[in-house]
Amino acid sequence: MIPSLETLIANHRLSQVHGLRVLTDCVDYPDVDQVFPMYPEQPFFLEELAKIGGAAGAEVLEIGLGSGVLSIGALKTGAKRVTALEINPRAKLFAGFNALINGVTQGLAIIDGDREDLWRPVRGRRFDLVISNPPFMPSPPGQEHYFHSGGGDLLGMDFLDTICRELDAHLMPNGKALIVTAAPGDDRLPTAFIDVIERRLSGGARLIVDPIKFSFDVVKHHTPDGVADATMRHLGGQLKQRGLTHEHLCVLHYEKTGSGLTVEQSEPHAAWDEPLPA
C-alpha cells in the first residue's frame, strides 16, 4: 500500500532550516544508511553562504549530498547547476524529494560517489564553488553505525583531508569552497582542521568557529552503543598525545586566489550536538 504524504512525514523527520523544508530519517533510525537529521551545522552553513552572496551563477560541486539541504540552498541562491556526489542510495531518494518540496525541479545532478577514491567521479572537472559537510564522526575499525558519516579515521579527519588535498585542482582559477564540519582541537580552536588547511591549501582561508564547543567527555555519549568505550579508549590516547580536548563546529571559507589564514568567531548556534526541532 502506498502511504499518504502525512504518514510518510510522520514516519520520518521534517525540519525547517532557514525557510527550507527538509525530510530526513528520525534520530533513532537504526540502519547504516540513515539520512541524518538536521543539526545546527546546516543553518550555520546556509548563513555563511548568504554572507558571500549565495551561489549566483556558479557551477557548484557538493561532496556528500545527504538530505540535499546544502545543494538546495545553493540552487535557491542562484547556482547555475549543482553536481552532487553521494554513496548512499537512500540519501539520493530523500534529496530528490527534498528538492521537489522546496520548488527545485532543475539544476541538481546527482552522481554516484566513490568510497575508495572520493574525487574520481569528477576528476578532470573544475567548479566555481565546492561545498561540503563531510562525514566527520570518529570511525574506528568495526564501527558500522556511522558508516556513511564516519570521517575515515579515529579523529574523523581523513575525509576532510582528502577533500582538501585535491580541492585546488577542482576549482576554477577564481574558485571558492565553503565547508562546514566539526573538528577536534584544543579548548579554543579546531587545531586539527587548521593543521589540514596549512598542509593542504595554498589559497586564502577564513575559518569561522562557533563559540559553543564540546569536550570529548560529552562527545563520547553520541558514539554508538557497544563501541563507545573502545572508541574513547583509543581516542583518549591519541587526543592526549596531540593536545586535543574539544570538538568545534566551524565553517571554512576558502578562496583559491587568496592567501593566509584567519580565524573568527561566529554567533553561537544552538548546542550543535542536538538535532534541530522537527
Ligand X SMILES: C[S@@+](CC[C@H](N)C(=O)[O-])C[C@H]1O[C@@H](n2cnc3c(N)ncnc32)[C@H](O)[C@@H]1O
- Where in 62-81 is the site for ligand X (CB under 6 A)? 63-67, 69-70
By CB under 6 A, name the one of 87, 228, 261, 263 that touches ligand X.
87
Binding segment (CB under 6 A) for ligand X, from list 11-19, 108-116, 257-265, 267-275: 108-116
Binding segment (CB under 6 A) for ligand X, from list 49-57, 114-122, 206-214, 242-250: 114-122
Nearer to ligand X, 68 or 185 (CB): 68
Residue 118 touches ligand X, criterion: CB under 6 A: yes
By CB under 6 A, name the one of 40, 43, 54, 113 that touches ligand X.
113
| Shortest distance in whole angstroms from residue 175 CB to ligand X | 19
Q: How far apart are CA 263 and CA 248, in angstroms?
A: 13
Q: How far apart are CA 131 and CA 187, in angstroms?
A: 27
CA 73 to each of CA 33, 94, 202: distance values in angstroms, whole numbers, following the listed order: 23, 15, 27
What are φ and ψ of residue 274, in 5° steps?
-110, 140
Task: Give the three-state DSSP class for 6.
Answer: helix
Q: How far apart are CA 253 and CA 49, in angstroms?
A: 9
| Shortest distance in whole angstroms from residue 136 CB to ligand X | 7
Residue 185 touches ligand X, criterion: CB under 6 A: no
- Where in 45-64 is the site for ligand X (CB under 6 A)? 63-64
CA 48 to each of CA 107, 233, 251, 273: distance values in angstroms, whole numbers, following the listed order: 22, 36, 8, 19
| Shortest distance in whole angstroms from residue 166 CB to ligand X | 13
Site track 8-47 with ligand X (rule: CB under 6 A), x = hit:
----------------------------x-----x-----
- Where in 131-150 is the site for ligand X (CB under 6 A)? 133, 135, 148-149
| Shortest distance in whole angstroms from residue 251 CB to ligand X | 12
> Beta strands 204-215 and 171-185: pairing type?
unpaired
Residue 88 touches ligand X, criterion: CB under 6 A: yes
Interface with ligand X (CB under 6 A), residue total 22
Query: Percentages helix, strand, coil for the chain, rounded to the nearest 5?
Result: 30, 25, 40
Q: Are 190 and 248 in contact (CB under 8 A)?
A: yes
Nearer to ligand X, 23 or 91 (CB): 91
DSSP state of 244: -
Q: Are 47 and 18 in contact (CB under 8 A)?
A: yes
Nearer to ligand X, 71 or 191 (CB): 71
Q: How far apart are CA 244 and CA 155, in angstroms?
A: 10
Q: What is the binding site for ligand X (CB under 6 A)?
A: 36, 42, 63-67, 69-70, 85-88, 91, 113-115, 118, 133, 135, 148-149
